A and B are shown apart, each in its own frame.
Chain A
Amino acid sequence: MDEWLRPPLLIVAALGVALGFTACDNAGEGSSVPLVLVSNALLADLAKEVAGPGYEVVFPLPSGESRMEWAPSAEVLAKWDGAEIFFKDGSPKPDWAAALEGKAKRVVTPPGEFAFTAALNHRSAGEWVDLISRTLADFAPADASAIATRAETMKQRIAESEAQWAESMTLLGSAQLAGFGTEVAAWAKQSSLEIEATSDLSAFRDMVKSPAASTVFVVGKHDFSQVGAALNAPDAEVLLLDFGLAGEVTDFVSTVAANAKAIEVLLKREEEAEASNEVVMGSRFEREIVPLIENYCLDCHDAETGEGELDFEVYLTEAEAIHEPDLWDSVAQVVEMGEMPPRDKSNQPSDAEREKIIAWVRDLGARWDDGEMGQDPGRTTIRRLNKNEYNYTIRDLFGMRIRPADNFPEETGGESGFDNNADALFLPSLLMENYVEAASVIVEGVYANSKSRSNYLFARPTGAGGAEGAARKTLSAWASRAYRRPVENEELDSLMRIFAGEMKAGKRYDEAMQKPLLAILISSKFLYRAEQEESSRDPYQVDDFDLATRLSYFIWSSMPDKELFGLALKGELSKPEVLEAQVMRMLQDEKARSLSMHFAGQWFGWEQLRSRANPDEDRFPQFTFDLRVALYRESAEFFHHLLQSNASIFDLIDSDYTFLNERLVKHYGISGVSGSQLQKVSLTDPNRGGVLGMGSVLTATSLPLRTSPAVRGKYVLAQLLGTPPPEPPMNVEQLPDDDQAIEAMTFREALAQHREDINCKACHEVIDPIGFGLESFDAIGRWRTTQNGLPLDTEGVMPDGTKFSSPADLKKTILSRKDLFTRNMAEKLLSYALGRDLSPYDRPAVAEITEKVLADGGKIHTAFVEVAKSYPFRYRRNDGFEPKAKTSETASN
Chain B
Amino acid sequence: MKNWQLSRRHMLRGMGATMSLPFLEAMIHPGEASAAGAAGPNGEPVRFAAFFMPNGVNHEQFDPKGSSLSKLPPILAPLGEMTESVNVITGLNNADGGHAAGTSAFLTGRRPKKTGKPSEVNVGNPSIDQMIGQAFKEETLLPTLELGLSTPRSGVGMSGHSHVYTSFIGWKAAGTPVPHEINPMRAFDRLFKGASVTTSGMSRSREQKGVRPDKSVLDIVLEDAKSLQKQLGRSDQQKLDEYLTAVRDVEERIQSQVQAAKGLRITDEVLKEIKSVGSDIRKASGDSRSGSYSARPNIPYREHGRLMMDVMALAFWSNSTRAATLMFGDGLHGRNMSFLEGVDGNHHSISHHGNKKGPLETFAKVNTFFVDQYAYFLRRLRNMSEGSSNVLENSVVLFGSNISSGQVHNGNNIPVILSGGAGGRLRGGRHIEGRGEEIGSLHRSILDLMEVKGSIGDGSGKVRGI
Contacts and interface: CB of A to CB of B under 8 A. Distances in A.
B186 A407 contact: yes
B243 A528 contact: yes
B23 A515 contact: no
B236 A409 contact: no
A842 B187 CA distance: 42
B117 A704 contact: no
Contact of B231 (A533, A705, A741): A533
B245 A429 contact: yes
A501 B220 CA distance: 12
Given A381-B239, A731-B408, A426 B335 contact: no
Interface string A409-428: 11111111111011111111
Contacts, number: 249
A74 interface: no
B34 interface: no
A361 B217 CA distance: 57
B295 A423 contact: no
Given A409-B181, A705-B344, A524 B117 contact: no
A515 B211 contact: yes
Contacts of B178: 428, 430
A618 B338 contact: yes
Interface string A524-542: 1101101001000000000
Interface in A614-630: 614-619, 625, 628-629
A734 B352 contact: yes
B439 to A, nearest CB: 20
Contacts of B167: 412
A701 to B, nearest CB: 13
A410 B151 contact: yes
A440 B212 contact: yes
Interface in B216-262: 216-217, 220-221, 223-225, 227-228, 231-236, 239-240, 242-243, 245-247, 249-250, 253
B227 A490 contact: yes
A415 B346 contact: no
B116 interface: yes
Interface string A491-505: 100110110010000
Contacts of A210: 234
Given A412-B153, A614-B336, A428 B179 contact: yes
- Interface size class, chain A: 35 or more
B296 interface: yes
A6 interface: no
A432 interface: yes
Nearest to A517: B211
Nearest to B291: A406
Given A403-B292, A737-B350, A423 B298 contact: no
B158 interface: yes
Given A523-B224, A530-B228, A733 B153 contact: no
B189 to A, nearest CB: 9
A639 B298 CA distance: 27
A329 to B, nearest CB: 16
B66 interface: no
Interface string B313-349: 0000000000000000000001110110000111001
A772 interface: no
Contact of A610 (B119, B245, B293): B293
Nearest to B247: A432
16 contacts: A381-B239, A406-B291, A423-B117, A426-B176, A429-B172, A432-B243, A444-B210, A515-B211, A515-B217, A519-B213, A525-B224, A528-B239, A611-B150, A704-B336, A705-B336, A734-B350
Given A413-B154, A611-B151, A879-B235, 16 more contacts: A406-B291, A415-B155, A424-B162, A427-B246, A429-B246, A433-B22, A436-B213, A440-B211, A525-B228, A533-B233, A727-B158, A731-B407, A731-B409, A733-B359, A734-B354, A736-B359
The 4 A-B residue pairs whose C-beta atoms are closest, nearest first, are: A737-B345, A413-B154, A733-B354, A704-B336
Interface of B: 22-23, 98, 116-120, 146, 150-156, 158-160, 162-164, 167, 172, 176-183, 186, 190, 209-214, 216-217, 220-221, 223-225, 227-228, 231-236, 239-240, 242-243, 245-247, 249-250, 253, 289-296, 298, 334-336, 338-339, 344-346, 349-350, 352-356, 359, 407-409
